[in-house]
Amino acid sequence: MSVKDTNSTDKLLKQLESLFKKEITVGLHGDVGGDILSRGIYNEFGTKNIPERSFIRAGYDTEKKNIVNDAEKLTRKVVAMEIKPQTAANLFGDATKGRIQEFAIDLRDPPNAESTIKAKGSSNPLVDTGQMIGAIDYKVKG
């Protein structure tokens, strides 16, 4: 008599190993271009003349509960073998990117200086042309 293994433990372990080897980054990556990257850094950390308007770190901190929830839901889908690890990583990266972009669009404090509002025609501190927020992206390695 032979024994037949009908579970998918080996496949599941390979799926999880693949998922947990993935590194997902969200933000302004170095390939976005010097001007956009510089503006992002100046706003994220502030300068002598520009107040700090953290949109990546503060966006993550504000959305952390939702981001963790997204990761848990997607991991469960990988365990259930409903989606592949690469798909889960891409869905997670895209969702997190969207959360950071929304946070940046909604950020109002500290407000722009009156001279900046007149020059831009808008009081939204991080939105002018939309290039910087549009350049926020995710990358998956591994």
In the predicted model, what is the mean pLDDT of residues 80-87?
92
For 16, 34, 112, the CA distances from 99, given in Å and listed in that order, are 25, 24, 23
Residue 95: is its pLDDT beyond 90?
yes
18-52: burial string, b at 16+ Cβ within 10 Å, e else? bbeebebebbbeeebeeebbebbeebbeeeeeeee
Is pLDDT of 5 > 80? no
Q: What is the pLDDT of residues 22-54, one digit of tens each?
A: 999 999 998 888 888 998 999 899 999 888 989
Q: What is the DSSP letter of 112?
A: P
Separation of alpha carbons 91 and 85, rounded Å: 10
Among 48, 60, 31, smallest CA distance to 135 is for: 31
Average pLDDT over residues 124-131: 71
Separation of alpha carbons 36 and 22, rounded Å = 27
pLDDT tens per residue, range 13-24: 888 888 889 999
Share of the chain above pLDDT 90, in %: 50
- Give 102-126 pLDDT, tens digit per residue: 999 888 776 767 777 677 766 676 6
pTM score, whole prediction: 0.83
Mean per-residue pLDDT of the chain: 87
pLDDT > 70 fraction of the chain, expressed in percent and rounded: 89
- The model's confidence at residue 132, banded by pLDDT at 50, 70 and 90, is confident
Where helices occur in the chain by DSSP H, the ranges are 9-20, 34-45, 57-79, 85-106, 114-120, 131-135
Q: Which two tokens stand for residue 55?
A: 């949109």
